[in-house]
Amino acid sequence: MTKPELDQSLEFINNPEGELQIIIYANIKGIDEPRKLDIKGDDLPEIKQIFIDGINSFIIDKENFTVLQLSDADERGKCFYQYDLEVPEELKVLERVIGNDNLQNFNFKDNSLSNIKSLIVVLADNKNEISLYKKVSTVEVIGRGGHILKKANQRLERFDDQLLRITSKFQVLRVNREIIIIDLDSIEKIFGFHDVITREATLSLDAITHMGLIENIESLQELVNDVTFARKLTKVAKNSPVIKSNIPNASIITFSKQHPFTKTKMKYSADGSQFKLDTRVSKDLLIKILNDDLLTSELTKLHYDSLAKDGMEIKVKGTTNEGSNED
């Protein structure tokens, strides 16, 4: 999904077909199924507008943002991420609530607002729907702790209840059957996302091991649980142009010996057929080599470390094949 496609899929919130409806569910500690919040009808239009404004502000209005595959995440800013890894259970609820009339209402006899972990906000018109995942922070449940005073005529007295503050901030949305991460930093800290990254990084490590390119493969194995490195490693199995193109090991080694960014920083086995990774720098450079991040301008002959490599299809007269010669 591209950013224009994402914007288009969300446009119905500003121009709905029929009435735009809102339903809010709560994920509660210790309970598998979400609970529907029974909100007074007169309050729903204002709450709905809060999330419409949030979607416009956080997504649609950010014209200079792009959409990347989550497995292709890197240090680039101004990105949303299309989820293409194993989906955690807490994100699967974004789909399960759609059209599910069997979910129970939130019951104050059984639960309190302080037990709410997150909210699922569904916006739908006659043809379209989206669901938002919103982590409930400690400051959004007022009365969770401490001694709160409220106005009582001209005096202050203790407030013994709890309040749920609704804000426009959300971290994830599901639209057109795709999950889009809006706030990656927040998502990485919850619902076992680190475990997902570690498992995906292990698959990448298996792919590298199979290549026979590394003499001391254990030097990478020890970094699989390092989340920062594991995120870089995750890109390799799914998106490495070098692996997908079956580039021979000998060509990879030759490239590393010639490129100015790597020729003095990489070490090799005695016969020169494998890398010997003895520093964190060399391990990071290996990932850049496999992800084809080290580029040279054909025009200026200058060398670049480039994270963004958007492919271009060259259409030539009489053919649609990339790189074909014109008759």
Residue 305: what residue type?
A: D
Which pLDDT belongs to residue 306?
Answer: 59
pLDDT in tens, 65-78: 999 888 777 666 78
CA-CA distance, 327 to 325, in Å (whole number)? Answer: 6
Which pLDDT belongs to residue 299?
Answer: 59
CA distances to 48, 92, 326 from 103, rounded to whole Å, are: 21, 15, 62
Q: What is the domain partition of the chain in residue ranges?
A: 3-191, 195-305
Please name which of 296, 295, 257, 288 lies closest in space to residue 274, comparing C-alpha atoms: 257
Which pLDDT belongs to residue 125?
Answer: 95
pLDDT in tens, 119-150: 999 999 999 999 999 998 888 888 776 778 88
Alpha helix positions (H), 151-240: 184-188, 193-211, 218-221, 227-239
Which range in 1-5, 109-113, 150-154 is most confidently predicted, on average pLDDT? Answer: 1-5
Band (191; pLDDT cuts 50, 70, 90): low
Which pLDDT belongs to residue 302?
Answer: 60
pLDDT in tens, 288-322: 899 888 876 565 566 555 555 554 343 444 444 44
In the block, which residue shows the tokens 């020729």? 263
> Tell me, what DSSP letter sits at residue 31?
-
pLDDT in tens, 257-289: 998 889 899 999 999 999 999 999 999 999 889
Q: Are strands 294-296 and 178-181 parallel, antiparallel or unpaired?
A: unpaired
CA distances to 48, 147, 165 from 168, rounded to whole Å, are: 10, 27, 10
Question: Is the model's pTM score more than 0.85?
Answer: no
As a whole number, the mean pLDDT across the chain is 85
